[in-house]
Structure 1
Amino acid sequence: MHYEIVIIGGGAGGLELAAQLGRRLGRKIGRDKILLVDRSVVHIWKPTLHEVAAGTLDAHQEGLSYVILARRNHFSFTLGEIAALDAEGKTLSLAEVVDDTGEQIVPARRISFTWAVLAIGSGSNFFGTPGAEHAFVLERASDAIRFQRRLLAAFTRAAFSSERKLGIAIVGAGATGVELSAELLEAHQLMLLGLSRDQHFRLDISLIEAGPRILAALPERISAKAQAALEARGVTVQVSAPVSRIAEDHLVAGERTIEADLIVWAAGIKAAESNAGYGLEINRANQFVVNARLETSGAGVFALGDCAACAWGDRLVPARAQAAHQQASYLADLLMARLRGRDFGRDFAYRDFGSLVSLGEKRGLGSLMGGLGGRNFFVDGLIAKGMYMALHLDHHRAILGFWNTLVLALARLLQRRVSGRLKLH
């Protein structure tokens, strides 16, 4: 089967690119020209995985079917994962898809293309830490759901134990680690509201960072306020404490041994090692090296998001959702021009609009960059939380349109009013 444009990876960037191209080409021709490939059948915005993991966001409610999104946005979707790429021959191979028992669901296939876009994201970087296999990760929706099930069992066990306590250690105090800490506190408080007093238990969260401060990518002012807010709510924050070993029920950070019933690794990302096997230039982090047009060393093969090493001054474009969003919009313009046989002379230019961090249902912190008002400025509390939620809705708007997003937001608000925030099954 041949497609003009094949997009491998249905994360924020890949899905938004497919939706933009499909809508521009229209119902009659878009579906036959654009193919999106992903190893899952449901899309969940990655920045919300910490909420799914804590149980404060229902994955079944939040998840959007790729098949339905493809129908609405006039592109094609297929379940699969890239196995091989021939950039010169303009073909790629998809591995077979099997179920939990190993039985084949979808056979291996071969697809030809005119242009391909690699949007396959990244995974966890364990830095060679012994015992890292004992830690949970939050790379995909399935990871978050698996952790949520273990968390619910641990909550219930703690409520009926003699010690009445539960320990959770989170390795890495970037945005994911900080937001997960805050969301676990929310989940714990929500559960206690429904339990009798003799079943109340203490939640001990240890947030461990190898560097000198949490949220190292954000200004120090934000880092200090976030740490103070977490510590005021009972989180133990340890900085300058690299983790040297992990076991099933504890880890070693610096010179301390920290006991924990559950351990989550959120201490860094790296692109997949398999990226080295596609015949394209990569860097030390296994990212595809791209030029100013986001094109890899293989002509007609582009990359965006976490898997792309795109120059931004003397450093690389950061691995953030806003970067993938901007790259998707840029590639949509570029590929539409190529489809129409026109020259496209504009290079990709990344704009950093700042960062926002959620610290719970009614609290957030953020730093908005200059260009929005001349100087950088900070937002806090409900304003920051509202802006954080607006980013989530903006992603939905990009793939669903304004009116569908509005209806979806209202429906979820009403659902939350009826069923509550905490998922307990």
Structure 2
Amino acid sequence: MAVRPQLHRVVVVGGGVAGLEIATALGRRFRGERQRHGEGPSVTLVDHDTAHVWKPMLHTIAAGTSDISQQQTPYQAQAHAAGFAFQMGEFAELDRTARELRLLPLRDRHGRVVIPERRVRYDTLIIAVGSLVNDFGTPGVAEYCRVIDSRRQANAFNREIRVRVAQCLTQGKDLSIGIVGGGATGVELAAELIRLKDAVVAYGGEELPTCLSVTLLEAGPRLLPAFPTNISTSVQGQLEALGVRVLTHTAVNSVTEDAFILNTKDRIPASLKVWAAGVKAPEFLAALDGLETTRGNQLVVTASLCTTNDPHIFAVGDCSSLRLAGAERPLPPTAQVAHQQAQHLIRYLPDAVLHGRSVPPFRYHDFGALVSLADYDAFGSLGDYGLMKSVTFRGRLAHFSHVLLYRRHQMQLHGVLRGWLLWLIDRLNASARPTIRMD
């Protein structure tokens, strides 16, 4: 009897924006191959969490101005709908010779092993594990600061802030929130916290403004350094008008239990501290069986998005480093870059898997950037692509454009019809439920 050739196995590690879009699209494509021919390539997604949340929305979940239960996509349900397999586990080790990765045992909160250590074989591996906040080795950050890199961290922060708000209203305790990092995450979180305060006041917590304060610290000369200067200036003015204390040229040297210590030795008191300055790739990437990495742990990739030392391993999004021909520096770790790289592999990887063709070089288009200050305002720039280069805009158009980014992501995961239905459900829930999380 003839031995049937091994079917191609595509494994995607990381269920963020890029990873889940790739697993969903390839799962649907290869499921069609299996339905037509009775067999075909398989797709497996690996992630340490149980559900996906669009990362640019984490700050709204942290503030409690959006409901986590409505905005998350369970991986197992998505796998069933899109035709891929899901393996829950933490990536521990890569063996490039055997083409397999090892997953750590999955334990419950009591330490019991729920799922033992496993090994997952692959023919093509796509690493899309995103990035983490970079504390730059600042003393005290790990002990006293919260970060909002994941669904679980955002939910934990929300639980804590609801306790602190309750203490403010019932015991008169002060709640001084300090946020380090004047990029999009820090700016948008500060605005959502003001929205939270306004909502609590509307629901009867009139005492809250006297005990809750928000301070945003940025080491550089202005907020949003990746945006045009006029947007940075407008955003700072808007935040200050909302009551946020904005401090630029303010570098944090260390963190204590109740304050940020500046390099000038001054203290900025804060009872609840968030670190949102800088990003880096996860540290385990630096020890992946000889793959080339940067100082920030990013996997160095070629123009085809495969790693420099292994054509069977691709890396996309924040965990990868790609310097395009003629560019002075690698592409920035943004959701826009991750989305475009994901779409590139979605378009070309099936031909590589099914027909042995090579993936062509990736081309990046800078469509600009958007930042939303909750419901108060929004700002955008068109970047360096198209006829209206470097044009900036604000208000309803910018806010609607920001919303469309998320809705487009939902449609790519669930299809156009279900994407529109989810949008409609969100609008109905917004009109029928409290504007902040109260459970």
Quote the residue 1:155 is aligned against.
Answer: 165
Matched, 1:91 2:103: no
Quote the residue 1:281 is aligned against.
Answer: 292
Structure 1 residue 421 displacement after superposition: 1.8
Quote the residue 1:261 is aligned against.
Answer: 271
Quote the residue 1:308 is aligned against.
Answer: 320
Matched, 1:364 2:378: yes
Structure 1 residue 352 displacement after superposition: 1.2
Q: 2:223 touches 2:236 (CA, 8 Å); kept in 1?
A: yes
Structure 1 residue 3 displacement after superposition: 5.7
Quote the residue 1:146 is aligned against.
Answer: 156
Choose which of 310, 333, 351 in structure 2 pairs with 1:298: 310
Quote the residue 2:354 is aligned against.
Answer: 340
3-state SS in 1 of match to 2:311: coil
Counting only pairs closer than 5 Å after superposition, residues 24-423 of structure 1 correspond to structure 2 as: 24-27=29-32, 29=34, 33-133=42-142, 134-162=144-172, 165-195=174-204, 197=206, 201-255=210-264, 256-279=266-289, 280-296=291-307, 297-312=309-324, 313-344=327-358, 346-423=360-437
Structure 1 residue 161 displacement after superposition: 3.1
Relative contact order, higher structure (CA 8 A, sep 6+)? 1
Q: Distance in 1 between matches of 2:401 and 2:267?
A: 38
Q: 2:367 touches 2:382 (CA, 8 Å); kept in 1?
A: yes
Root mean square deviation, CA, Å: 1.7
Structure 1 residues 253, 407: CA separation in 2 closer, same or farther (over 3 Å shift)?
A: same
Structure 1 residues 196, 182: CA separation in 2 closer, same or farther (over 3 Å shift)?
A: closer
3-state SS in 2 of match to 1:357: strand
Q: 2:179 touches 2:215 (CA, 8 Å); kept in 1?
A: yes
Q: Distance in 2 between matches of 1:197 and 1:18?
A: 47
Q: Distance in 2 between matches of 1:368 and 1:172?
A: 23
Aligned residues between the structures: 424
Structure 1 unaligned spans of 5+? none
Structure 1 residue 160 displacement after superposition: 2.3
Structure 1 residues 274, 406: CA separation in 2 closer, same or farther (over 3 Å shift)?
A: same
Structure 1 residues 421, 32: CA separation in 2 closer, same or farther (over 3 Å shift)?
A: farther
Q: Distance in 2 between matches of 1:271 and 1:373?
A: 34
Counterpart of 1:149 in structure 2: which amino acid? R
Structure 1 residue 362 displacement after superposition: 4.2
Q: 1:97 touches 1:105 (CA, 8 Å); kept in 2?
A: yes
Q: Distance in 1 between matches of 2:167 and 2:434?
A: 22
Q: Distance in 2 between matches of 1:198 and 1:236?
A: 19
- Mean Cα deviation higher: 64-73 or 138-147: 64-73
Structure 1 residues 345, 245: CA separation in 2 closer, same or farther (over 3 Å shift)?
A: closer
Q: Distance in 1 between matches of 2:119 and 2:208?
A: 56
3-state SS in 2 of match to 1:340: helix
Normalising by structure 1, we get a TM-score of 0.96
Structure 1 residues 104, 219: CA separation in 2 closer, same or farther (over 3 Å shift)?
A: same
Q: 1:90 touches 1:112 (CA, 8 Å); kept in 2?
A: yes
Quote the residue 1:11 is aligned against.
Answer: 16
Counterpart of 2:355 in structure 1: which amino acid? G
Structure 1 residue 6 displacement after superposition: 0.2
Counterpart of 2:243 in structure 1: which amino acid? G
3-state SS in 2 of match to 1:299: strand
3-state SS in 1 of match to 2:310: coil
Normalising by structure 2, we get a TM-score of 0.93
Q: Distance in 2 between matches of 1:16 and 1:228?
A: 37
Structure 1 residue 4 displacement after superposition: 1.4
Structure 1 residue 375 displacement after superposition: 2.3
Q: Distance in 1 between matches of 2:432 and 2:262?
A: 43
- Mean Cα deviation higher: 137-146 or 369-378: 369-378
Structure 1 residue 346 displacement after superposition: 2.1
Structure 1 residue 374 displacement after superposition: 3.4
Q: What does the per-residue CA deviation read over 1:160-215, in whole Å, with 9 as the maximum and x for residues that have no partner?
A: 2346x421000011000000000000001001111254566442111001111111
Structure 1 residues 2, 263: CA separation in 2 closer, same or farther (over 3 Å shift)?
A: farther
3-state SS in 1 of match to 2:306: coil
Q: What does the per-residue CA deviation read over 1:90-126, in whole Å, with 9 as the maximum and x for residues that have no partner?
A: 1111111111121111111111111000111111211
Q: Distance in 1 between matches of 2:181 and 2:208?
A: 31
Q: Distance in 2 between matches of 1:128 and 1:172?
A: 15
Structure 1 residues 200, 350: CA separation in 2 closer, same or farther (over 3 Å shift)?
A: closer
Q: Distance in 1 between matches of 2:379 and 2:113?
A: 46
Identity within the alignment, % = 36
Q: Distance in 2 between matches of 1:221 and 1:407?
A: 37
- Mean Cα deviation higher: 103-112 or 338-347: 338-347
Structure 1 residue 334 displacement after superposition: 2.7
Q: 1:14 touches 1:328 (CA, 8 Å); kept in 2?
A: yes
Q: Distance in 2 between matches of 1:32 and 1:298?
A: 20
Q: Distance in 2 between matches of 1:322 and 1:375?
A: 17
Q: 1:275 touches 1:288 (CA, 8 Å); kept in 2?
A: yes
Q: Distance in 1 between matches of 2:151 and 2:18?
A: 16
